[in-house]
Amino acid sequence: MKPLRHVIAAIAGLALVTSACGNSNSSQDTDVDSSVTVYSGRSEELVKGLFDAFTEETDIAVNARYGDSGELAALLLTEGSASPADVFFSQDAGALGAVEDNLTELPEATLSMVDSKYAAASGKWVGITGRVRVVVYNPGLAPTPPASIDELLDPKWKGKIGFAPTNASWQSFVTALRVLRGEDDAEKWLRAFADNSPVAFEKNSAVRDAVNAGDVAVGLVNHYYLLEKIAAEGAAAVVAKNQFMKPGDVGGLVNVAGAGILAKAKHGVAAQKFIDFLQSETAAEYFRTKTWEYILTKNAVQPEGLPAFSELNAPSIDLSDLKSLDQTQELLQKVGLLTK
Amino acid sequence: MNAKRGSRVVLGLAFASAVVSLVPLWYLGVQSFSTGIESFAGEIFQSRTFTLIVRSVVLTSTVAAGSVIIGTFAAWVTTLSGVKGRIPLTIAFSLPLALPSYLSAFAWVSWIPSLSGFTGASLVLTLACYPYVMLPVAAAMSRLNPVHEDIARTMGRRQREILKEVVLPQVRRPIASGALLVALYTLSDFGAVAAMRHEVFTWVIYGAYRAGFNPTRAAALSVVLVAAAIFITVGETLLRGRHYSPGHGEPERARMNRTSAKTYIVAAVGSVLVLVPAIVIPVVAIASWIGRTTTRRVEWATVLDATAQSFLNGSITALVTLALAMPVAWCAVRNTSIMARIPERLSYLTHALPGIVVAISIVYVGIRVARPWYQQTPLLVFGQVIIFLPVMIASIRTAFEKTPRGLEETAQTLGADSIRTFLRVTLPIALPGLLAGSALTMLAAVKELPVTLLLRPTGMDTLSTKIWDFSTISDYAAVGPFAVAMLLLAALPTALLGAMSALRANR
Amino acid sequence: MTDDIALELTDVSHRFDKSEVLKSVTLTVRKGDITALVGPSGSGKSTLLRIIAGLEQPTRGVVRINGITVADERTWVPAHKRKIALVPQDGALFPHLSVTANIAFGLTDRKSAATGEQVKRMLDLVGLPNAGDLMPSELSGGMQQRVALARALATEPAVVLLDEPFSALDAGLRESLRDQVVNILHTAGATALWVTHDQDEALSTADRVCILLDGHIAQSDDPVSTYHTPTSVETARFIGETVSLNGNVAETGLSVDTPLGSVELLRHCAVGPATVIVRPEQFEITSPEDAQAAAIGRVVATRYFGHDGTVDVDIPNGVRITVRLHARLLPAVDSTVGLLVHGKVLAFRRDPV
């Protein structure tokens, strides 16, 4: 019984403290690299299977602590050098950027596995998978869907665009917009977008479902939401389609999930093995069939039914710049697109 | 041990408990000034901060006012109205305690999207918080002398006038203390304002962590919440007025008045208007998630495991909180010196802090001074205790107020020392109140997320972490079973709480 | 005739669920009188009071206040329209209101000068001219009770109902307060129905005493008649201490044969076996040699009360007699004494079973 185990652990912890010595994790540390502690900003439901596969392949146990990427970043910063974490596996680049000072530089072999624009300039983290911003559309209502963010401002889409204002990927897109076009033009675009009366949903999946049901014609989401629905309900049940943005359009931003190793990691070897595993074909296969994300490892086979990654020609942006999310939220606030 | 020394020991324990609850202040102090006083001032003194204060004040006062109205009404229905079925009614009115605000807010907004914003946030929070007013007010109402109402009636007052002139002035204090808890909870809540997209302090504090990756900013803004807590706590002290004891510890007298048809109608209509949006709608919405299509099978073993874990954590938290709260409540009630009231007031200071801030504080302090306990159950419990201490204190101090002092003195003249008097006289009499406080705390602990998420031992899953896990990937079909399990688990202590409250009122 | 009746109950009955609490109660209270309603606990006193106040609707019967029907089969005047004032057990002052606000509670315009004057009059009346600004918790029990009376009288009610007004007070205070309250009520010219379970209180304060036994009025009379000529063994026993003897009423119906010899009767009784009721103070202890002694007995116990005392004396035939006498005169236990009976006694015919 799992709960019982924790009680025993708690009592053991108490015993240890009263005897005023030792470290409750010591039992696991006899063999230095027999385990690796991962702070995962990616949901347990998404990556637990992958971690299990790693353990199966390497015999290294994964102690995973799941949480929100930003909160885990705050946790790492607060823990400082005492952190029990070896690896930070983040849902986005911003959180990785925030803890760069606590990370160690990755070996060249690791970094060179991906296009340099999907790794930190400092070499402290590497992108693993990518999520592409797309316009999901209902062909019945939008026979010619917009292929750039400026086309979205066309009055013909007034009241017909769905978006999820609190979603992190949407906010990353706005950050990219600010970075690429400058604050003033970004605000101009957002105001025009707001004037087009977009419909707010609480989640990306709700946007997708609304498009599929014909409640709105188009929606701003990540590419995999559609694939997820097709996998769940079968292709026949899904009428909506993905429209990828024109090459270079900021609306086609690629957000990455990436990983880095803590400078003070106690299990450095295992941590590196873990990163290697994330870049392996086993992991690629997992992502292809479970999360439908683009694999950032060069020359990787991509999930079925997606345009080739190289064709996307995503906008050029230093992903570390995406950490100015709080200014983005302030701007969204200002133009009335975030809260009510 | 003589009585005087005994009371000094208790006072010492009370101060120790209060200090425990102030641990987050250590972290806040260090973190908010980590980049110098100027940058701290820079974070705080912005026009946006002012806007946030206004928005938070408006939301907090709306929710507090709404909770006072609904909570007092519910207390009236379950005690003074004389309506039959007091026990089931009290349980029903307590049930919103079983619903986490993030779940009910999400249930509402996914049903009526236009509800998002201030309307939805205040609706959900009011319906979630009114039991914090209802429970102490119901206890106080059931202790009122029914003869007062008779006299007022013979002196020409109608039912409504009696409520206004005789009943309400005498329950001002429990109303004020309930409102205090509600106000502080509203300031600290993130779940409801997040789902409703209503920007208040917690929203920005979470944003500073999740989007800004800026703990210093989060800490600086949290300092404002501590200031708000001080302000509200002082305000409550001024508002609460005098305490009117129910006489010389005499037994409550039975109410003999018959309930008029009009009273029945008012009680019935009001109850339906409260209970349908507070319970029926969110529960139906959550239950309906189970029916949605999903790629996952429901793994009942996982649900059971998480339920057992939540139950265990909640129970441990409740017990530890009770142990820490007892000396504080005891001093606040029994010790007449001004010093004795300080611990209780201190425990409120951190109550307006969002869970994430408390969690990060415990991380900061824990990793420095309690390394072996870090990411172990003791620190997780410690974090939750800080959050729930005021709730526990508030609910058990009523229990101690009820124990007639004369009885304790009698016991002491019979040769029992202070400790034995406490164990054999005070404790048994206060026991139902202590149980009720523990049930309330356990409920809150089962629902709690941010502290659990960051401080739990690696690999520990509770119902709230599972719900969070699935909702981050928008799999509400998978959330369903865990949410229902949480409702069922939380319904147990709620029922206990409701039944106990009703029984105490009946006695 | 009806003009001087303040309160009139006719055939009032009341049941709670299945038990009949009041059985056809008929009662009148004259204007300006203090009427005591006395009965053991559970006799229905409180229910009767609540019915009069309009807090409870009787199952059956008519209630009239100053000649106006406030309750019968068709009429129901609720409490707030009855002009009845209540002084409950512990005063039940509103703890959140000052003494002044308590007294003014029943007055229509609580801010007016007339109200202020009335409150002042009441404070003077109950002898607390300077207590106006105090809170109830700052008053002693006796003061609280006087304020409660002032609050009740301020509205100039048709009837003041006093519900065991002193039961929460200690004995010494109770007696002095009792006299004060009687004076206040008479000074104010108020009509009062005073509920108590204390016979002495009833007899010493009231112009008229109504005994409520088992849900019906067993006797309604002036205090002296109530004590001396009770209408039944039950009322006799309830209203004061008694010594019951078995006796046999003589042919004349005017005297009775008892273990103490033949004793004269106060009132005629049917011939045959009867219960004879003697008050303890009717006995006198004398020396066993006293020729007038009705019986000789042995002292088995004595009780000392300070001002007086009682002696239990066993006389032949296994009869024990309790005698009340001056404490100075208490005989020694185990001594042999003679007994005298003073005055006439009452006999109640015992129906052969």
Contact at CB, C80 and B256, closer than 8 angstroms? no
Least CB-CB distance to A65: which of B27, B458, B469? Answer: B458
Contact at CB, A171 and B374, closer than 8 angstroms? no
Per-residue pLDDT tens, chain B, 507 aa: give them. Answer: 455 666 778 888 989 999 888 999 999 988 888 777 887 887 777 777 888 889 999 999 999 999 999 999 999 998 888 888 888 888 889 889 888 888 888 888 878 878 888 999 999 999 999 999 998 898 888 888 888 888 898 888 888 888 999 999 988 888 998 999 999 999 999 888 888 888 888 888 888 888 777 788 888 889 999 999 999 888 888 877 665 554 433 444 455 556 778 888 999 999 999 999 999 999 888 888 777 655 556 778 889 999 999 999 999 999 999 999 998 988 888 776 778 888 888 988 888 899 999 999 999 999 888 888 888 899 999 999 999 998 899 888 877 776 666 666 666 666 667 677 777 777 777 888 888 889 889 988 999 988 998 899 988 899 999 888 887 777 777 888 888 898 888 888 888 877 777 776 554
Strands C319-326 and C308-315, sheet pairing: antiparallel
Q: Å from C316 to nearest chain B CA?
A: 47
Chain-centroid distance of CA B298 in Å reads 32
Nearest CA in chain B to A44: B469
Contact at CB, B151 and C56, closer than 8 angstroms? no
| Contact assessment for residue B158 and residue C96, using Cβ atoms and an 8 Å cutoff | no
Q: Å from A113 to nearest chain B CA?
A: 27
Alpha-carbon separation of residue A137 from A121, A147, A161, A164, A195 (angstroms):
36, 11, 9, 15, 20
Nearest 5 degrees, angle CA A99-CA A101-CA A104?
100
d(Cα B122, Cα B126) in Å, to the nearest integer?
A: 6
Describe the crossing of helices B476-506 and B463-472 by its angle, rounded to 10 degrees: 140
- Closest by CA to A283, choosing from A271, A272, A293, is A293
- pLDDT, tens digit, for every residue of A187-219? 999 999 999 999 888 788 889 989 999 989 999
- pLDDT, tens digit, for every residue of A159-193? 999 998 888 889 889 999 999 999 999 999 999 99
Contact at CB, C81 and B153, closer than 8 angstroms? no
- pLDDT, tens digit, for every residue of C316-329? 878 888 888 887 87
Contact at CB, B295 and A231, closer than 8 angstroms? yes
Contact at CB, C94 and B156, closer than 8 angstroms? no
Q: What is the mean pLDDT of residues A308-314?
A: 83
pLDDT score recorded for residue A187: 94
pLDDT score recorded for residue A16: 43
The DSSP code sequence of A126-181 is EEEEEEEEEEEE-TTT-SS--SSTTGGGSGGGTT-EEE-TT-HHHHHHHHHHHHHH
Q: Å from B156 to nearest chain C CA?
A: 4
- pLDDT, tens digit, for every residue of C147-175? 999 999 998 898 999 988 877 777 777 88
d(Cα A136, Cα A142) in Å, to the nearest integer?
A: 10
- Closest by CA to A220, choosing from A147, A286, A288, is A147
Least confident of A83-97, A252-266, B263-277, C99-113: C99-113
d(Cα A322, Cα A175) in Å, to the nearest integer?
A: 6
List the structure tokens of A46.
């998404």
List the structure tokens of A15.
């015993």
Q: Report the neighbours of B using a cutoff of 3 or more CB pairs below 8 angstroms.
A: A, C
Beta bridge partners of residue A219, listed in sequence order: A136, A162
Residue A129 pLDDT class (50, 70, 90 cuts): very high
The DSSP code sequence of A11-74 is HHHHHHHHTT---TTGGGGSSTTSEEEEEE-S-HHHHHHHHHHHHHHH--EEEEEE--HHHHHH
Q: What is the biggest distance separating any 2 CA atoms in chain A, rounded to whole angstroms?
A: 73
Q: Chain C contact for B374, CB < 8 A?
A: no
Alpha-carbon separation of residue B449 from A67, B122, B398 (angstroms):
11, 21, 28
E runs forming strands in C240-329: 243-249, 255-258, 261-264, 272-278, 283-286, 295-304, 308-315, 319-326
Give residue for tokens 């999903």: B294
Q: Chain B contact for C86, CB < 8 A?
A: yes
The DSSP code sequence of C142-181 is HHHHHHHHHHHHHT--SEEEEESTTTTS-HHHHHHHHHHH
- pLDDT, tens digit, for every residue of C54-90? 888 888 999 999 988 988 888 888 888 888 888 988 8
Q: What long-range pairs does C292-296 form, CB within 8 A, spacing at least 24?
A: C292/C340, C293/C338, C293/C339, C293/C340, C294/C260, C294/C261, C294/C338, C294/C339, C294/C340, C294/C341, C295/C259, C295/C260, C295/C261, C295/C338, C295/C339, C296/C336, C296/C337, C296/C338, C296/C339
Chain B residues within 8 A of A206 when measuring between CB atoms: 110, 474
Q: Chain C contact for B249, CB < 8 A?
A: no
| Contact assessment for residue C214 and residue C43, using Cβ atoms and an 8 Å cutoff | yes
d(Cα B118, Cα B105) in Å, to the nearest integer?
A: 12
d(Cα A198, Cα A192) in Å, to the nearest integer?
A: 10
Contact at CB, B156 and C95, closer than 8 angstroms? no
pLDDT score recorded for residue C120: 92
Least confident of A18-27, A85-94, B318-327, C198-207: A18-27
What value does the CA radius of gyration of chain B take, rounded to a whole number of Å? Answer: 23
List the structure tokens of C247.
């006796």
d(Cα C14, Cα C12) in Å, to the nearest integer?
A: 7
Q: Å from A43 to nearest chain B CA?
A: 6
d(Cα B92, Cα B268) in Å, to the nearest integer?
A: 13
d(Cα C122, Cα C124) in Å, to the nearest integer?
A: 5
Chain A residues within 8 A of B117 when measuring between CB atoms: 339-340
Beta bridge partners of residue B219, listed in sequence order: none
> A with C: 3 or more CB pairs under 8 Å?
no
- Within chain A, how many helices (H) and strands (E) appear? 13, 11
Chain B residues within 8 A of C155 when measuring between CB atoms: 155
d(Cα B430, Cα B403) in Å, to the nearest integer?
A: 7
Contact at CB, B376 and A24, closer than 8 angstroms? yes
d(Cα B308, Cα A52) in Å, to the nearest integer?
A: 24
Residue A30 pLDDT class (50, 70, 90 cuts): very low
Tell me the pLDDT of chain A averaged across its residues: 86
- pLDDT, tens digit, for every residue of C263-303? 888 888 888 889 998 888 888 888 888 878 888 889 999 88
Give residue for tokens 């946790």: A75
Dihedrals phi, psi of A100, to nearest 5 degrees: -50, -40
The DSSP code sequence of C85-143 is EEE-TT----TTS-HHHHHHTTSS-TTSHHHHHHHHHHHHHTT-TT-TT--GGGS-HHH
Chain C residues within 8 A of B169 when measuring between CB atoms: 94, 96-97
Dihedrals phi, psi of C176, to nearest 5 degrees: -70, -40
Q: Report the neighbours of A using a cutoff of 3 or more CB pairs below 8 angstroms.
A: B
Nearest CA in chain B to A24: B372
Nearest CA in chain C to B255: C55
Identity of the residue numbered B212: G
Contact at CB, B106 and A202, closer than 8 angstroms? yes
Beta bridge partners of residue C63, listed in sequence order: C9, C71
Q: Å from B18 to nearest chain A CA?
A: 22
Residues whose CB is less than 8 angstroms from the CB of residue B318 and which lie 6 or more positions away in sequence, other chains included: B392, B438, B439, B441, B442, B445
Contact at CB, B458 and A233, closer than 8 angstroms? no
Chain A residues within 8 A of B465 when measuring between CB atoms: 66
Alpha-carbon separation of residue B418 from A173, B9, B17, B117, B427 (angstroms):
67, 11, 21, 54, 12
Residue A27 pLDDT class (50, 70, 90 cuts): very low
Q: Chain B contact for C79, CB < 8 A?
A: yes
- The ipTM (two decimal places) reads 0.84
Q: What is the biggest distance separating any 2 CA atoms in chain B, rounded to whole angstroms?
A: 70
What is the reported pTM? Answer: 0.82
Q: Chain C contact for B169, CB < 8 A?
A: yes
Contact at CB, C50 and B145, closer than 8 angstroms? no
d(Cα B9, Cα B14) in Å, to the nearest integer?
A: 9
Contact at CB, A2 and B305, closer than 8 angstroms? yes
Q: Is C113 exposed, middle or buried (0-12, 13-18, 19+ CB in 10 A)?
A: exposed
Count of CB pairs separated by less than 8 Å, B with C:
65
- Closest by CA to B15, choosing from B411, B344, B407, is B344
Q: Chain C contact for B163, CB < 8 A?
A: no
Strands C243-249 and C272-278, sheet pairing: antiparallel
Evaluate if residue C112 carries a pLDDT over 90: no
